[in-house]
Structures are given as C-alpha cells and as structure tokens.
Structure 1
Amino acid sequence: MGFGSISPMSLLLIFLIIIVLFGTKKLRNIGEDLGHAFKSFRRGLQQIDDDKKKIENKKDEEEK
C-alpha cells in the first residue's frame, strides 16, 4: 500500500485533523522552524565545500 492508494479526500481529511489538533499558529511556527533549520543545514554544507576548496587551493600553491 503506497501513496498512490490514498485518495485526495483522505489527504484533505488528514490535513484538516492536523489543523484542528495543532492549530494554524503552531503549524506556522513549526514550518518556520523547519525553514530555519534547512537554511542552517545548507549554510553548513556550503561552508564545508568552501573549506575544502581553500584546502585544495593551499595544496596547489604549495606544489608550485
């Protein structure tokens, strides 16, 4: 049983139940927190790539 077997009405019902349980404000806060976490994760990955490039450039300069 995969996602293909869930009907759009079932998804809508699940979404409405989640809204009733958590409320829109809490869901907005959760979404905002996830967005900040994702941004921080991407920044961390970018910093790792930048550090790797710096190390490679130093090695290239030392070889010359």
Structure 2
Amino acid sequence: MGGLSIWHWLIVLAIVILVFGTKKLTSGARDLGNAVNEFKKGMNGDSDKPQARLGEDKSAASAEQKQHDNAAQ
C-alpha cells in the first residue's frame, strides 16, 4: 500500500508519452544532456574557445603597442 509498483510507473509513463509526445520528450532529453555537458565543461575549465580568444587579444594588443611605440620614436 503506500508504495508505487512498476505498473503504476508504467501507467504514468504512458500518460506522459500521450500528453507530450515522443518528439518533445526526446528533444527535451537531448537539450538536458547538452546542458549537463556544457556545465561539466565549465566546471572543469575545458572550454577552449575563450582561451583562444584571450591569446589572440594579447597578440593583437602587443602588436598594436609595438606599432604605437615605433610611431612615438
């Protein structure tokens, strides 16, 4: 009594599939998986794109500084 058996969960699953449809459920699961992967990358610091931008900005800034220094002399 009080607990839900496997049959209860199967009926709930069938109702959810009927209400939302399989296409919305699969796209929602895919979006959730992508969000979790992005979160893990952010926590581990595995994001390559911001580091590449920082390196490019530094080289561009140093090149501009050299041109400015040469023009001042």
| TM-score, normalisation: structure 1 | 0.66
Structure with more contact order per residue of length (Cα contacts < 8 Å, sep ≥ 6)? 1
Residue-pair matches, total: 45
Identity value in percent: 38
Q: Which has the higher helix share?
A: 1
What is the match of residue 20 of structure 2?
A: 22
- Structure 2: tracts of 5 or more residues without a match: 47-73
Shift of 1:43: 0.2
| TM-score, normalisation: structure 2 | 0.58
Report runs of 4+ in structure 1 exceeding 6 Å deviation. Answer: none
Rg comparison, structure with higher value: 2
What is the match of residue 36 of structure 1?
A: 34
- Structure 1: tracts of 5 or more residues without a match: 49-64
